[in-house]
């Protein structure tokens, strides 16, 4: 019986995937045919040259057209268009394609500073070059290593104040040693850097500055077959079953569950994009819009080591490496629970051809044993028989994992019946470590930029700043940002023995400058409200931001990485909606100068009151590595909650109905 149910639960995803092909929505990711059409239109109009497709995506239909279609899905959907950023003949082209008329609408050459994300193909090609470069082979030999056991990875080079525009699309290649352990990130060939020109695909620089011992392979493995006992004993078996199937429906890329409905797509750069999230209000008996779109706009990871081999390591994982491109296939039962349903996706390969990724997303109902609400009350009529009302929390999770070289980012969007949207980011995978001569903490008398984690292994200090684009549109697009300052008030009431209390001083942000907020060390609640829609009590309907992390940048604002990452200077920013302001680090992030970021757009100090606005929220991790992060770090999670605040007239889950009881009397 159990076996049968198990195979049924495997069938369910297939069933849903079949349905998935049928749906059609203006925000659906490009289909394989649309990728292919985009590629052929561009290559046919530029024959005799090799074109690198750095970014291909659905070109956003106007918000107006999507909202009109949504209010009346019988009206024709907005026309499908694609945007492609391609590189050929050492020029970057931004090309707009009409997918219906099958034509190129525009082709603009971008000549400012900065480049689009790397493709996997060019990263692999560049990483292979050192191995056949004689000076590199000599450097490896000098270290007593075997060149056939060396593997390399491409790092973006950043920008450090060079006056003229960088003429070359270059990367720095760092190599590692894959001898005796799969975990080559713990074994850097320190002191050697190879510089590669990606357009020419050839080595343009080579440095071999110093030698330190190669960290040992022993202790770095993480595959069970390579680990020596003892192992922690297994726990008793546990089973997650939904014999009636999941309670959500997937129609194409639209997902509905409980009171929620939203659209899920994959963007090569952002990873998951949640659109048109709306919630059904039981009391008003109508569906209400909450969020037009939410996605990760950038993920900034600066390392804190000033050495020649390390100073430039200030990565923009979305803008340079493309989180959607870095999505990995989720493993059933391990990455996602047994009741999860998986969704496949497509992105464009470096040659523009559609590339399928299986199990990119998993979608599942979470029943983690948490309490949604409860209360126990004494029963006046019958002593010693208290009345208890309690409801189990059930929620819906959409998950993707992006493995950006050494790091694995677990990206969860969780929807609760109470109206909350919880975003949870988990960091796991491998640290970026530096090989060093030190084998004990007591030997270290200089700045080494991080703790000693194992012999000859320094875990370099760094940050992860995840910047979200959150376009909340509650009951309409005209919204305002409200700062509720909690302030101590000294009592002037002689009749009260109390000397103080706190109160709320709410302030509506009028312009962008009013909404540049550092939540750290402030007693402040930030919310987005619709000032035109009030509850019966007269409160504007709203959603509040509840951060579950407080870490802001510590680099000096004039430092070059921080200029490029200046969008992290505030925890919250609010901008008027502008369809071309999607990427907080600018459209062309690699080698950018920081002149097209959220921090520069907002210098215009535009009006943001009672209009279509976008909230940008950065959640940060300062990562001081520790020995438990070695050789592979247990997941570290942080996130935030968007929580209804006077959005509903009263508790929206008071009348929640618990799930059916599943009986397994026939089960042995
Ligand atoms: C395109 O790339 C291929 C493979 O690298 C190469 O053989 C070919 O000569 C290139 N074609 C042009 C026109 O550059
Ligand atoms: C939208 O943003 C872009 C980039 O910041 C800017 O050039 C353009 O003027 C903006 N459009 C409007 C209507 O403000
Ligand atoms: C499940 O078992 C409970 C308790 O034995 C019983 O009350 C209920 O009717 C059963 N439900 C179904 C669907 O069989
Ligand atoms: Cu980290």
Q: Mean pLDDT throughout 525-550?
A: 96
Identify the nearest ligand to the CA of 598 by its number.
2
Note the pLDDT tens digit of each residue in 196-206: 999 999 999 99
Give the C-alpha separation, 245 to 19, whole Å.
15
Note the pLDDT of residue 591.
96
Contacts of 193 by beta carbon, 8 Å cutoff, 6+ apart: 172, 173, 174, 205, 206, 207, 308, 309
Q: Which residues contact 554 (CB under 8 A, 6 or more apart)?
A: 463, 622
Structural domain spans, the chain: 3-12+20-110, 120-226
Q: Measure Cα distances from 163 to 166, 310, 548 in Å.
A: 8, 21, 39
CA–CA separation, 190 and 436 (whole Å) = 8
* Statement: residue 639 has pLDDT above 90: yes
360 vs 275: CA distance, rounded Å: 17
Which ligand lies nearest the alpha carbon of 302? 4
Q: Closest residue (by CA) to atom 10 of ligand 2?
A: 578
The whole-angstrom separation of Cα 259 and Cα 528 is 21
Write out the two tokens for 363: 């979608």
Q: Give the pLDDT score at 96.
A: 98
Contact between 605 and 512 under an 8 Å Cβ cutoff? The reply is yes
Least Cα distance to 513 among 470, 576, 593, 428 occurs for 576
Establish whether residue 580 lines the binding site of ligand 2, counting it when its CB lies within 6 angstroms of any ligand atom. Answer: yes
> Is the model's pLDDT at 665 over the cut of 60?
yes
Contact 135, 129 (CB under 8 A): no
Percent of the chain with pLDDT over 90: 90
Residue 20 pLDDT class (50, 70, 90 cuts): very low
Beta bridge partners of 572: 517, 617
Q: Where are the alpha helices (DSSP H) in 555-638?
A: 560-564, 598-601
Does the Cβ of 578 fall within 6 Å of ligand 2?
yes
Contact criterion met (CB below 8 Å) for 504 and 317: no
The token pair at 656 is: 């929640």
What spatial distance separates the first Cα and last Cα of the chain, rounded to whole Å? 8
Does any ligand 2 atom lie closer than 6 A to the CB of residue 579?
no
> Distance from the CA of 662 to the center of ligand 3, in angstroms?
8
Q: Pick the residue with more confidence: 11 or 105?
A: 105
Q: How far apart are CA 296 and CA 71, in angstroms?
A: 27
Indicate the range of 228-242, 451-465, 573-587 predicted with least confidence.
228-242
Reference 352, options 266, 268, 265; nearest CA is 268
Q: Do 168 and 113 meet the contact criterion of CB atoms below 8 Å apart?
A: no
Average pLDDT over residues 403-411: 97
Shortest-distance atom of ligand 1 to CA 201: 5
- When pLDDT is averaged across residues 424-443 and rounded to a whole number, the result is 98
Using DSSP's 3-state secondary structure scheme, residue 295 falls into strand
Dump pLDDT digits (tens) for 471-483. Answer: 999 999 999 999 9
407: annotated active-site residue: yes
Under 8 Å between Cβ of 479 and 613 = yes
Contact yes or no for 9/339 (Cβ under 8 A): yes
> Would you say the CATH fold of 120-226 matches that of 3-12+20-110?
yes
Q: Which residue has the higher pLDDT, 176 or 381?
A: 176
Can you point out the beta strands (E) in 123-169? 150-156
> What percent of the chain has a predicted confidence (pLDDT) above 70?
96
CB 279 within 8 A of CB 643: no
Nearest CA to ligand 1 atom 6: 50
pLDDT band at 626 (very low <50, low <70, confident <90, very high): very high
Rounded Cα distance, 296 and 584, in Å: 9
Instruction: Write down the architecture of domain 3-12+20-110 according to CATH.
Output: Roll (3.10)
Matching residue, tokens 């009260």: 496
Q: Does residue 6 carry a pLDDT above 60? A: no
* 3-state SS, residue 34: helix
From 303, 346, 407, 560, the catalytic residue = 407
Residue 600 to residues 178, 300, 596, 605: CA-CA distances in angstroms?
Answer: 43, 17, 6, 10
Confidence of residue 164 (pLDDT cuts 50, 70, 90): low
Which ligand neighbours the alpha carbon of 599 most closely?
2
Average pLDDT over residues 512-522: 93
Q: Which residue in the list 60, 197, 317, 596 is annotated as catalytic?
A: 317
Per the prediction, the chain carries an average pLDDT of: 94
Listed range (377-386, 448-457, 545-554, 636-645) with the worst mean pLDDT: 377-386
CA 278 → CA 37, 181, 419, 420, 601, distances in Å? 33, 48, 9, 11, 29
d(CA 144, CA 262): 56
Which pLDDT value is given to residue 509? 98
**Ligand 3 neighbours (beta carbon < 6 A):** 661, 663
Rounded Cα distance between 78 and 72, Å, is 12
pLDDT band at 454 (very low <50, low <70, confident <90, very high): very high
Mean per-residue pLDDT for 390-395? 96
Give yes or no for residue 384 CB within 6 A of ligand 2. Answer: no
What is the C-alpha to C-alpha distance for residues 158 and 406, in angstroms, rounded to an integer? 19
More confident residue, 170 or 244: 170
CA of 50 to the centre of ligand 1 (A): 6
Query: Pick from 513, 514, 487, 483: which is nearest to 501 by CA?
Result: 487
Assigned CATH class of 120-226 = alpha beta
Question: 354 C-alpha vs ligand 1 centroid, how far in Å?
Answer: 20
Query: Whose C-alpha lies nearest to ligand 2, atom 5?
Result: 601
Does 18 have pLDDT greater than 60? no
Please tell me the least confidently modeled range out of 28-32, 155-159, 663-667.
Answer: 663-667
89-111 mean pLDDT: 97
590 is catalytic: no
Average the pLDDT over 420-443 and give the result: 98
């Amino acid at each position: 019986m159990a076996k049968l149910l198990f195979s049924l639960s495997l069938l369910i995803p297939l069933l849903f995937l079949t349905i998935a092909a049928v749906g059609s929505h203006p925000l659906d990711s490009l289909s394989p045919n649309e990728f292919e059409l985009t590629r052929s239109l561009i290559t046919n109009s530029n024959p005799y040259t090799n074109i690198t497709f750095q970014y291909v995506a659905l070109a956003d239909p106007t918000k107006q057209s999507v909202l009109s279609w949504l209010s009346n899905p019988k009206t024709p959907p907005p026309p499908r268009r694609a945007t492609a950023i391609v590189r050929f003949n050492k020029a970057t082209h931004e090309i707009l394609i009409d997918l219906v008329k099958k034509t190129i609408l525009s082709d603009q050459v971008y000549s400012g500073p900065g480049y689009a994300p790397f493709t996997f193909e060019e990263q692999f090609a560049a990483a292979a070059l050192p191995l056949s470069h004689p000076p590199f082979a000599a450097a490896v030999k000098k270290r007593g290593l075997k060149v056939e056991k060396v593997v390399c990875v491409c790092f973006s080079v950043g920008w450090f104040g060079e006056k003229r525009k960088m003429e070359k699309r270059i990367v720095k290649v760092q190599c590692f040693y894959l001898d005796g352990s799969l975990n080559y990130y713990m074994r850097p060939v320190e002191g050697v850097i190879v510089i590669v020109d990606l357009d020419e695909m050839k080595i343009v620089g080579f440095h071999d500055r110093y030698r330190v011992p190669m960290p040992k392979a022993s202790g770095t493995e993480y595959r069970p077959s390579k680990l020596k006992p003892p192992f922690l004993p297994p726990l008793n078996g546990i089973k997650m079953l939904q014999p009636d199937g999941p309670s959500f429906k997937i129609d194409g890329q639209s997902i509905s569950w409980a009171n929620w409905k939203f659209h899920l797509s994959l963007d090569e750069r952002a990873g998951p994009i949640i659109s048109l999230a709306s919630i059904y209000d039981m009391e008003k008996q109508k569906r209400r819009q909450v969020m037009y779109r939410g996605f990760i706009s950038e993920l900034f990871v600066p390392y804190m080591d000033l050495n020649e081999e390390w100073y430039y390591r200030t990565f923009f994982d979305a803008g340079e490496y493309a989180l959607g491109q870095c999505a990995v296939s989720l493993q059933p039962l391990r990455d996602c629970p047994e009741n999860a349903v998986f969704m496949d996706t497509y992105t464009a390969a470096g040659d523009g051809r559609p590339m399928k990724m299986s199990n990119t997303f998993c979608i599942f109902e979470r029943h983690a044993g948490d309490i949604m609400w409860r209360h126990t009350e004494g029963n006046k009529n019958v002593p010693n028989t208290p009345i208890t009302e309690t409801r189990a929390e059930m929620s819906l999770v959409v998950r993707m994992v992006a493995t950006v070289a050494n790091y694995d980012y677990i990206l969860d969007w969780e929807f609760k019946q109470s109206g909350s949207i919880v975003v949870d980011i988990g960091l796991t995978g491998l640290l970026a470590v530096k090989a060093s001569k030190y084998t004990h903490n007591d030997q270290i008398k200089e700045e080494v930029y991080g703790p000693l984690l194992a012999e000859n292994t320094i875990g370099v200090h760094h940050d992860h700043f995840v910047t979200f684009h959150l376009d909340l549109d509650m009951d309409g697009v005209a919204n305002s940002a409200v700062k509720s300052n909690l302030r101590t008030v000294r009592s002037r009431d002689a009749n009260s023995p109390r000397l103080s209390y706190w109160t709320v001083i709410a302030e509506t942000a009028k312009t962008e400058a009013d909404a540049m907020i550092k939540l750290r060390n402030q007693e402040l609640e930030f919310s987005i409200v619709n000032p035109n829609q009030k509850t019966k009590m007269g409160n504007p309907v709203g959603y509040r931001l509840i951060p579950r992390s407080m870490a802001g940048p510590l680099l000096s604002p004039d430092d070059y990485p921080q200029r490029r990452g200046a969008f992290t200077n505030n925890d919250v920013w609010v901008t008027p909606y502008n369809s071309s302001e999607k990427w907080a680090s600018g459209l062309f992030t690699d080698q950018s100068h920081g002149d097209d970021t959220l921090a520069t757009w907002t210098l215009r100090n535009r009006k943001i009151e009672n209009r279509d606005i976008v909230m940008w929220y950065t959640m940060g991790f300062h990562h001081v590595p520790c020995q438990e992060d070695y050789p592979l770090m247990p997941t570290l999670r942080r996130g935030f909650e968007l929580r209804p605040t006077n959005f509903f007239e009263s508790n929206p889950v008071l009348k929640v109905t618990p799930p059916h009881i599943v009986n397994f009397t026939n089960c042995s």
